[in-house]
Amino acid sequence: MNAGALHLPALGGRLGMGIGVDLPWSGRIGFRRAAEGDGITEPLRNFLVANRTAFHYLFFAFQPKDRNRLRPDAYFAAYDELFSFVPDFRTRGFHQTMLNMGSMEPYERKDLITFTNSLIARYGFSWVVEDLGLWSIAGKTVPYPLPPFMTREGLRACIRNVREVSAGLDAPLSVEFPGFTEGTNFYIGDYDAFDYFREMADQADVAVTIDIGHIISYQWLRGNQGERMFIGLERLPLDRCFEFHLSGCAITKGKFRDLHHGVLLDEQIDLLEYLLPLCPNLQAVSYEDPQYTDDGVLIANSLRNFERMKNLVDAWTSSHVL
């Protein structure tokens, strides 16, 4: 299946490696509120300036600024400043966190889609991504998005929700494979996650994002560790895969944890190398939530596998013949 039929972003080929960042409105790395105008924190600014040529695109995850009704212009000052520091990043993505596409309860997305489209119009986001899952229940967030209900009814709800979002957005939607066992995370239902994800993508006719750590977390749950982590991957919708995510993971007390702490595991690099040639429509590989000093320098223990990832992705990018 070719990229055009899949409603993938029209990016003109492989982008190479980009960064994905979660930007809350408090803390060291993120947005800051200021009477003179909102903006970004200094470590983030330093990191972006220092890495202008190391990466090729940026996406960031949406976090609400306050408890007001969503108004796009309330976010313009901060978002304008963010992109002003990476003028060469012509391609931009947007990671939503409120679409809640795994939900089986009434959930009104119209205003949220309108809000997102306003941001797409202003910043030219080439795609919108969100993990398939339960980000909130009865209007209250969970500490980490739970996988969707892994039942037939849950799958039907996902297909319905993904179709609604995909039809409403003014940029292509890419649905991300959910995370399993993240420290405050469990799932309900025994539907095979790879089959579930493929059926959702095919029925909703949507592009997908594969988070390498999320795949390993699911394999780990099923006892598929080591060389067994490659079992069954052909059942994923690899031809629909537009983007990979890699974020810092760890194995703690026998459980696989997606910690977003910047340090990639060897298993993630091995799986990246395995999957790169199997995804014919892959265009982007995102290093999610790098960790760095206040001067914007990547933390030392993240460097080894960061370099391995970068070398793989650079080779993949340059090997593409249009």
Partner 1 sequence: MRELNDALYLLLHDARYRKAFLDGDHARLGLAAQDEAALRTIDAEELVKTSEQILSNVLKGDFDVGGGLRRSYPAIFEALRQEGQLERSVMYEFLSSDAFLEYREIPFAGEGICVEEAFYLFLRDHPSFLKGFAANAMLLRHEFLTVMLSILTVNRDPHFSLRSTDLIRTNGALRYAVQTYPRPIVEALLGHAAAGSGAEIHYLYAASLRDTFVSGPIDEVAIALVESGSDGRSGPPSAQGFVVASLALSQYSALSAKLVDLGLLTPK
Interface contacts to partner 1, rule CB under 8 A: 24-27, 63, 66-71, 98, 100, 103-109, 111-112, 134, 136-144, 146, 149-151, 153-154, 181, 183-190
Least Å from the CB of residue 153 to partner 1? 7
By C-beta, is 25 or 230 nearer to partner 1? 25
92-96-101 Cα angle (round to 5): 135
By C-beta, is 70 or 276 nearer to partner 1? 70
Q: Torsions phi, psi of 120, nearest 5?
A: -60, -40
Q: Which structure tokens are listed for 207? A: 């592009």
Least Å from the CB of residue 154 to partner 1? 8
Least Å from the CB of residue 72 to partner 1? 13
Q: In one letter, which amino acid is 89?
A: F
Q: Which of 15, 201, 39, 146 is nearest to 93 (CA)?
A: 15
Q: Which of 229, 141, 215 is nearest to 180 (CA)?
A: 215
Angle between helices 152-168 and 110-123 (to 10 degrees): 50
By C-beta, is 128 or 285 nearer to partner 1? 128
By C-beta, is 27 or 280 nearer to partner 1? 27
| Length of the chain (residues) | 322
Compute and round to an integer the Cα radius of gyration of the chain. Answer: 18
* CA pseudo-torsion sign 264, 267, 273, 274: negative
**CA dist., res. 149 & res. 309, Å (int):** 33
By C-beta, is 185 or 286 nearer to partner 1? 185
By C-beta, is 17 or 113 nearer to partner 1? 113
Least Å from the CB of residue 68 to partner 1? 5
**CA dist., res. 177 & res. 266, Å (int):** 20
By C-beta, is 84 or 114 nearer to partner 1? 114
Angle between helices 303-318 and 266-275 (to 10 degrees): 10
Least Å from the CB of residue 303 to partner 1? 26
Least Å from the CB of residue 152 to partner 1? 9
Least Å from the CB of residue 320 to partner 1? 38
